Amino acid sequence: MTASPAADVIDTMLGLDRFPDLKALRERRGKLKHLTQTSYEAALRPAEPRNFSYGMRAALAARMATLWKSGELVAHYRALLDGEDPALSAIADPGTGAADADARLSAILAHVDLVTLAPKEATRANIEKLAAAGLDDRDIVTLAGLIAFVNYQVLVVAGLKMLRDN
């Protein structure tokens, strides 16, 4: 028995079933739509989460979406935190979560915020801070992939919202 494909997160989040013209436009770029959904699964729900639990990934994604003021994405990622450790909700809020964090989490949050808000300011020194805080090379690559994906997803959602709401 073959597993059914996961519903497309962006289509679902933006309610594109109610906007057939916009949904058809997305289908014209079916491969890109598929790769975006596949990237979502890899970034948020990989088979082996290693040192970034599913809850931590959702909390960091919610944090980035909050920094971008992307309401639909914030709601989506916060919903993934239902039933998770309440400390993850604090991580999701850029106004909290870092003050009492250990060195590892503080470095992660600072890096997430920097790359989301001012990516051109990120340097090798920022990566070295992650390593000094205890992240190994795979952890750093995992974090970079999550940051890259969520920031890309925010832009896709913003563009589609402009078309939807126009």
Answer whether residue 4 shows pLDDT above 50: no
Answer whether residue 62 shows pLDDT above 80: yes
At 133, the amino acid letter reads A
Residue 19 lies inside a defined structural domain of this protein:
yes
Q: What is the mean pLDDT of the chain?
A: 92
pLDDT of residue 1: 36
**What is the pTM for the complete model shown?**
0.92
Answer whether residue 74 shows pLDDT above 50: yes
Range of the domain at 93: 9-165
Residue 144 lies inside a defined structural domain of this protein:
yes
- The CATH number covering residue 96 comes to 1.20.1290.10
Q: What average pLDDT score do residues 29-58 get?
A: 96
pLDDT digits (tens, 9 = 90+) for 150-159: 999 999 999 9
pLDDT of residue 99: 58
CA distance 56 to 72: 19
CA distance 138 to 110: 18
Residue 1 lies inside a defined structural domain of this protein:
no
- CB contact at 8 A, 124 and 93: no
Answer whether residue 2 shows pLDDT above 50: no
For 146, residues 6+ apart whose C-beta sits below 8 A from its C-beta are 43, 44, 52, 57, 60, 61
Q: What average pLDDT score do residues 25-36 get?
A: 95
Q: What average pLDDT score do residues 139-166 get?
A: 96
At 96, the amino acid letter reads T
Lowest mean pLDDT of 2-6, 67-71, 105-109, 160-164, name the range: 2-6
CA distance 54 to 130: 20
Residue 38 lies inside a defined structural domain of this protein:
yes
pLDDT digits (tens, 9 = 90+) for 93-116: 998 755 567 899 999 999 999 999
What is the count of structural domains for the chain?
A: 1
Alpha-helical (H) ranges within the chain are 9-13, 20-27, 30-44, 54-68, 71-80, 86-92, 103-117, 124-132, 137-165
Residue 64 lies inside a defined structural domain of this protein:
yes
Q: Which residue has the tokens 């289509």?
A: 11
CA distance 105 to 85: 15
Residue 4 lies inside a defined structural domain of this protein:
no
